[in-house]
Structure 1
């Protein structure tokens, strides 16, 4: 049975929207979404025992409209393009969430309040996820020392040079343990490469932790993903390559 509630924090300021679209997979497993779909498809009533009360915290530096990437080509780069309305700030967001998802922000985006939030929430939130260069943002806090992680494969060399104390791995996504102060299981760190790998990673997390038929029907098939977690953790090998060399 799924937990009755799930609180998810999303660091969304100056990240690529595609990096955090995995939250829609969680959203499709919510009680609110199921009830809205019910009039169109009464069969989904069978999944009501598995549906969760999901609360999303969209986190930014302030509650003012915040910018995501890509920027609007007709405007100065500091203005950006698509904007969203945060519902909490780094200072005010609860630290003891169930999941925190970090997309890939611009490399220059390192607010002190965000750094403080990640350090304070690290041991209190059991599951942390990053996509693309979101792992570099998290690495800049020092929290990933000794961890096995990945990032967008195009930036692995830069990641290894900048953070040699971290085990950077050539995989679409990687799962490792992390520090956790709670009692409801071990801490988990899920890091993915590019945005597509991040979506597959979240699909895999949902399939591993919630009812598989529920996830496949409401999230993966509903969003026209291939059920089963998509392409898997590893990149296709080129002829003559071995994974051990990466």
Structure 2
């Protein structure tokens, strides 16, 4: 797996209109690695953190988030949260580094999003989905023959309405995807429910960014994905 250099900018598109809020919260794990966030934290660090400051210095990443929707008008997530998108599907660059798709209801299929997914699929190296976000991506016809997962309760539905995709009963699944760029192979990361999505994104960060920095930021939010939170369900689940 290619490692993302920490001295290069990362552009991330987030398909979040009408989705479950917790499905897209993994972006904050990535955002905590940004230069802007680390500078903010270190500028207000208590004396007890002084020995740790050198471990953070110079490791922040330039990150730009595109929060996508069909228009720039305020739109809604659960639980009634209204936000203002900063980019439309039509205007968003297609050659991003990462696209993350949260899970909307199955009837939410705006044509602008469909066009974006089809045009950006092979130009963006890494695509991630959480919950029914995989069904949204599959509806664009790009997941035929790919190994994916979705919310465990929706697996029978996924197999029925998108039978061309190989649906797997796992917390998250990683597969290859087409990629027209030269900076590594295309990667498809799909997760089940929101908790699995958080663990999936944490694992992606550990594998693709500065691992000690990622570990420290995860400990700061009391996440420990290196423990038992694997990509497989427990036998009792």
Normalised by the length of structure 2, the TM-score is 0.93
Q: Residues 181 and 92 (structure 1 numbering): CA distance in 2 closer, same or farther, change over 3 Å? A: same
RMSD (CA atoms): 1.4
> Does the aligned pair in 2 maintain the 1:57–1:88 contact within 8 Å?
yes
Q: Residues 84 and 2 (structure 1 numbering): CA distance in 2 closer, same or farther, change over 3 Å? A: same
Worse-matched range after superposition: 37-46 or 102-111: 37-46
What are the residue-to-residue correspondences of 1:1-246 with 2, within 5 Å? Answer: 1-39=5-43, 40=45, 41-42=49-50, 43-70=52-79, 81-218=80-217, 220-228=218-226, 231-238=229-236
Unpaired segments ≥5 residues, structure 1: 71-80, 240-246
Q: Residues 203 and 230 (structure 1 numbering): CA distance in 2 closer, same or farther, change over 3 Å? A: farther
Unpaired segments ≥5 residues, structure 2: none
Q: Using the alignment, how far apart are the partners of 2:35 and 2:24 within structure 1?
A: 21
Paired position in structure 2 for 1:242: none
Instruction: State the secondary structure of the residue aligned to 2:220.
Output: coil
> Does the aligned pair in 1 maintain the 2:203–2:225 contact within 8 Å?
no
> Does the aligned pair in 1 maintain the 2:15–2:69 contact within 8 Å?
yes
Q: Residues 25 and 229 (structure 1 numbering): CA distance in 2 closer, same or farther, change over 3 Å? A: farther
What count of residue pairs does the alignment treat as equivalent? 228
Paired position in structure 2 for 1:75: none
